[in-house]
């Protein structure tokens, strides 16, 4: 009986396309050219809201910090060309829908929210890759602006994510995006240099009876030759593609640099960002900086980060904020890590910057201006 059940299981795996079991460090494969990958990253977070009574001073939650599941692959079409594809989904591992901020006025503290399903779209596309000329693809993908400095975020996909400040104004992260309806090009790498350009045509697919359709255009260039990484990025939003820009244009410019000292296990990163609204005296016009350092000590990695956003151009309001974070990771293996961190966002009197604003399942935005929330987070991450 046992032999018969084993035989049936093997047959079912072959018929249904279930990936075969692989060695510990190998990637599961289906039909030879499909890679299954993902990240399970969960944490328990204790948040100090800095609210006054009778509002809650403490909140505790389980967060799904950009946990994901995806498949990707390619098929050779010629010596130079390949078809490439990817389907990636966000998985909210705490099992509930989550309210995330989509927009917030500059002088009030009443956020608008939207529900995120337990399974949501992430980087998903199909395209053609040429070894000589680069890759063109279509779908949903992180903008070049977002990609350019993402690797410099020492606490990515946690409650201390740098989007507490970067790409963020007053609690709304509208400049580190994954827009839909994208046409995307990324070049091959020449002498360590590559560039990417993308345009979202959302807003152009229907007649909205306006003089100007909504649009997003994003570009980056990077030099990546160990131990140095240097990048610059630019993005412009027009006519209401995000909750900030209404019928104006908002431009983002960003510069970043990273340096790795292999012999000591030290990583350094710094980012400068300037957001500019075409409207005068706008609180969406602001500058920000972010700096981080990590130090590897055997299985442990110590991390420290600092960020600061300036006030907007409206002299009547104080909408700046300061962000600090420190933490430690312990690597059980290349794939499995546990971590602990502390982070705090200190808001000026009219500001509502928050914590962990990188996606569903791991974000807190104050509902009261001028408060300074902090968090202690204990988590684990497994990548496959």
> Is residue 9 domain-resident?
no
Q: How confident is the model at residue 184 (pLDDT cuts 50, 70, 90)?
A: very high
> Is residue 26 domain-resident?
no
The total of other beta-carbon atoms located within 10 Å of residue 212's CB is: 12
> Is residue 12 domain-resident?
no
Report the C-alpha gap between 170 and 357 in whole angstroms: 11
Instruction: Provide the 3-class DSSP secondary structure of residue 339.
Output: strand
Q: Which whole number is the average pLDDT over 170-177?
A: 84
More confident residue, 280 or 103: 280
Given CA atoms 173, 175, 179, 185 in this order, what sign does their dihedral have?
negative
> Is residue 4 domain-resident?
no
Q: How confident is the model at residue 309 (pLDDT cuts 50, 70, 90)?
A: very high
Instruction: Provide the 3-class DSSP secondary structure of residue 13.
Output: helix
Q: Which of 232, 153, 145 is nearest to 193 (CA)?
A: 232
> Is residue 13 domain-resident?
no
Residue 137 buriedness (CB in 10 A; 0-12 / 13-18 / 19+): buried
* Span 118-172, pLDDT tens digits: 678 899 999 999 999 999 999 999 999 999 999 999 999 999 999 999 999 888 8
Report the C-alpha gap between 370 and 381 in whole angstroms: 33
> Is residue 293 domain-resident?
yes
> Is residue 59 domain-resident?
yes
CATH assignment of the domain containing 179: 2.40.160.10
What the block records as the tokens of 369 is 């201006």
Q: Would the pLDDT of 320 be above 80?
A: yes
Q: Would the pLDDT of 377 be above 80?
A: yes
Q: Quick one: DSSP state of residue 19?
A: P
The total of other beta-carbon atoms located within 10 Å of residue 34's CB is: 16
What the block records as the tokens of 375 is 């968090």
Q: Let me know: does 219 contact 144? Beta carbons within 8 Å.
A: yes
**What's the domain count of the chain?**
1
* Span 218-270, pLDDT tens digits: 999 999 999 999 999 999 987 666 666 666 788 999 999 999 999 999 999 99
Q: How confident is the model at residue 203 (pLDDT cuts 50, 70, 90)?
A: low
Report the C-alpha gap between 32 and 25 in whole angstroms: 17
Tell me the whole-structure pTM to 2 decimals.
0.84
Average pLDDT of the chain to the nearest whole number:
84
Given CA atoms 274, 218, 168, 43 in this order, what sign does their dihedral have?
negative
Q: Let me know: does 361 contact 93? Beta carbons within 8 Å.
A: yes
Structural domain including 50 reads 36-383
> Is residue 20 domain-resident?
no
How much is the pLDDT for 308?
A: 97
Report the C-alpha gap between 183 and 206 in whole angstroms: 17
Residue 145 buriedness (CB in 10 A; 0-12 / 13-18 / 19+): buried
């Amino acid at each position: 009986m046992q032999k018969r059940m084993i035989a049936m299981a093997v047959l079912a795996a072959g018929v249904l396309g279930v990936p075969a079991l692989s060695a510990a460090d190998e990637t599961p494969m289906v039909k030879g050219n499909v890679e299954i990958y993902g990240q399970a990253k969960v944490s328990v977070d204790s948040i100090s809201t800095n609210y006054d009574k009778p509002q809650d001073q403490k909140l505790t939650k389980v967060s799904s910090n950009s946990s994901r599941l995806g498949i990707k692959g390619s098929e050779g079409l010629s010596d130079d060309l390949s078809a490439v594809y990817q389907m990636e989904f966000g998985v909210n591992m705490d099992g509930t829908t989550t309210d995330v901020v989509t927009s917030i006025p500059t002088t009030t503290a009443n956020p608008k929210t939207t529900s995120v399903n337990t399974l949501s779209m992430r980087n998903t596309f199909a395209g053609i890759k040429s070894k000589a000329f680069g890759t063109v693809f279509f779908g949903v993908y992180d903008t070049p602006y977002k990609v350019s400095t993402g690797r410099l975020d020492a606490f990515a996909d946690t409650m201390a994510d740098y989007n507490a400040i970067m790409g963020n104004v007053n609690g709304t992260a509208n400049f580190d995006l994954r827009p839909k309806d994208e046409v995307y090009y990324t070049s091959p790498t020449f002498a360590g240099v590559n560039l990417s350009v993308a345009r979202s045509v959302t807003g152009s697919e229907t007649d909205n009876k306006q003089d100007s359709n909504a649009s997003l255009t994003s570009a980056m260039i990077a030099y990546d030759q160990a131990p140095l990484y240097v990048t610059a990025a630019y993005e412009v939003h027009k006519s209401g593609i995000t909750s900030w820009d209404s019928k104006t244009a908002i431009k983002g410019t960003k510069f970043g640099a990273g340096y790795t000292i292999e012999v000591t296990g030290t990583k350094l990163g710094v980012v400068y960002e300037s957001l500019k609204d075409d409207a005068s005296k706008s609180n969406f016009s602001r500058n920000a900086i972010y700096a981080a350092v990590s130090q590897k000590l055997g299985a442990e990695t110590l991390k420290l980060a600092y960020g600061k956003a300036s006030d907007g151009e409206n002299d009547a309001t104080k909408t700046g904020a300061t962000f600090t974070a420190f933490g430690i990771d312990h690597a059980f293996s290349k794939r499995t890590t546990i971590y602990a961190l502390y982070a705090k966002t200190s808001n000026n009197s009219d500001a509502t910057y928050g914590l962990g604003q990188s996606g569903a399942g791991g974000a807190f935005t104050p509902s009261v201006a001028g408060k300074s929330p902090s968090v202690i987070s204990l988590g684990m991450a497994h990548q496959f």
